[in-house]
Amino acid sequence: MSQNTSSYEVNFDGLVGPTHNYAGLSSGNVASTGNKGQISSPKAAAKQGLKKAMSLANLGLKQGLLAPHCRPDFSTLRSLGFSGNDKQVIEKAGKKAPEVLAACYSASAMWTANAATVSPSADSADGKVHFTPANLNNKFHRMIEPTVTGRILQATFPDTNVFSHHKPLPQSPSFGDEGAANHTRFCQDFDQAGVQLFVFGRYGFRADKPEPKVYPARQTYEASQAIARLHQLSDDRVVYAQQNPEVIDQGVFHNDVISVGHQNVYFYHQQALLNSDQVLKQIESQFDGDFHFVQVATDEVSVKDAVQSYLFNSQLITLGQNKMAIVVPEECRKNKAVWDYLQKLPSLNSPIQEVLVYDVTESMKNGGGPACLRLRVALTSKQLASVNQNTLLTPELFSQLNQWIDQHYRDQISPDDLLDPNLADECRTALDKLTQILNLGSVYDFQR
Ligand code: SUG
């Protein structure tokens, strides 16, 4: 496998927004609930994410950025009956419903693996690159994201001759959709037809089927099927697999917390899937060419260690012919079983030959590792030329954004800071400037 020069997998990382905080909003996500109420550092969070993105660009990968959302979401707060000017809305919500205010302040759009599902043109009947923003309806603080996410995606991938933008699926739990966090694409080169693996946590219309008992399953089978239809995928190039409900109950709230795929490699935990053997056979039979299954056994890394370290929330990246690296968070180094495994991984018979460790601790404390922070978009060089070029990361943009962060982001946010109306103003000022830097036009409500 190699990155050829006519097609690329471009990682679009979410820039962490100025209101990044720890509000404990995601039941089923043990980091989020466990770190509730801690003091966050939006400045450090944004810089950590940007540094990870720039480091991958420096390795020769194409790297883009997706803009954060403006928070708090005043239109949602007003729709819930909090009235008056902005200061009064914050004051009233803070008094009557602080948890709702915190939800409307979340910077959760940073996890762009949940922004959308993307299918490249080689797989779609009409030859376009398809995007469907995830409806994220399992969590209130996330179901307010898709409208603005859709606008940001359209401003980032503007040419409708090349890119097809769909509406999010209907906002019903039966069609719960969490985007690329439960979707993996296998291929030879990025411009060749591939196999798309859709992993779901439960059925939306079948009470007789297994589902988790403790924590919610966010993605449904019916949602995954709808995305495959919208993206005009061929039935014989799509595999649907149910996540093991037992691992969801241990904190694996998305499939990307327990497996990751890239080109001809699937790196997964032994307990990740129900009917694992059947699913792996299907992938193998649909895929053209050699395929590597890299299974991590429970004996070597328990589900608990996987959740705690985010070993599988890693990025697999191609560095050369048959040479991949695994990009893991710093937390993997701190977990003995995981670090022991990673020491020997490059000597196993697979293309994964290097381990790269990055510090994204601020995001990790909310349950977001390296893979959560990026949305993969496979593009031909011609399609890449149609992307909004201001969103592609260069050393110049990296330094411009670091300065922008220094100028606009707070060092710290505590739960009480969400009551400070200046924070809302600071966010608007910062994002207004950002839309100019990234040439996005008017994507935010306050600009319309
Ligand atoms: O949806 N955390 C996010 C983390 C998303 C990770 N994404 C992937 N695995 N692809 C979530 O649970 C926590 C926010 C808070 O508690 O303040 C949060 O939304």
Cα of 208 to ligand 1 centre, how many Å?
Answer: 29
Which residue do the tokens 């720039």 mark?
54
Q: Check if 260 has its Cβ closer than 6 Å to any atom of ligand 1.
A: no
Query: Is-cis flag, bond preceding 133, omega within 30?
Result: no
Whether the per-residue pLDDT at 442 is higher than 80: the answer is yes
| 8, β-bridge pairs | 379
Q: Check if 443 has its Cβ closer than 6 Å to any atom of ligand 1.
A: no
Return the pLDDT at 4.
57
Question: Percent of the chain having pLDDT more than 70?
Answer: 99
Whether the per-residue pLDDT at 2 is higher than 80: the answer is no
Cα of 263 to ligand 1 centre, how many Å?
Answer: 26
- Inter-CA distances, 116 with 76, 149, 338, Å: 21, 8, 30
Return the pLDDT at 214.
98
Note the pTM of the prediction, 2 decimals: 0.98
Ligand 1: atom nearest CA of 254 is: 9
Return the pLDDT at 172.
97
Span 201-260, pLDDT tens digits: 999 999 999 999 999 999 999 999 999 999 999 999 999 999 999 999 999 999 999 999
Span 365-374, pLDDT tens digits: 999 999 999 9
Rounded distance, CA 421 to CA 90, Å? 7
Is residue 186 within 8 Å of residue 193, measured between CB atoms? no
Position 134 confidence tier, pLDDT thresholds 50, 70, 90: very high
Cα of 333 to ligand 1 centre, how many Å?
Answer: 22
Could you give the angle at which helices 86-96 and 421-437 cross, rounded to 10 degrees? 120
Tokens of 228: 């495959």
Return the pLDDT at 371.
98
Q: What is the mean pLDDT of residues 347-356?
A: 97
Return the pLDDT at 12.
99
Rounded distance, CA 160 to CA 337, Å? 48
Q: What is the mean pLDDT of residues 118-140?
A: 98
Q: What is the mean pLDDT of residues 279-306?
A: 98
Q: What is the mean pLDDT of residues 168-176?
A: 98
Considering Cα of 41, then 143, then 255, then 194, what sign does the dihedral take? negative
Return the pLDDT at 362.
98
Rounded distance, CA 96 to CA 417, Å? 16
Look over the chain and give the mean of its residue pLDDT values, rounded to a whole number: 97
Q: What is the mean pLDDT of residues 185-190?
A: 97
> Which DSSP symbol is given to 409?
-
Position 388 confidence tier, pLDDT thresholds 50, 70, 90: very high
Span 75-106, pLDDT tens digits: 999 999 999 999 999 999 999 999 999 999 99
Cα of 256 to ligand 1 centre, how many Å?
Answer: 12
Domain 7-71+106-447: CATH superfamily, name plus number: Succinylarginine dihydrolase (3.75.10.20)
Is residue 143 within 8 Å of residue 109, measured between CB atoms? no
Domain boundaries, the chain: 7-71+106-447
Query: What residues are annotated to the active site?
Result: 178, 254, 372
Q: What is the mean pLDDT of residues 4-28?
A: 95
Ligand 1: atom nearest CA of 22 is: 17
Q: Check if 372 has its Cβ closer than 6 Å to any atom of ligand 1.
A: yes
Q: What is the mean pLDDT of residues 293-317?
A: 98
Q: Check if 25 has its Cβ closer than 6 Å to any atom of ligand 1.
A: yes
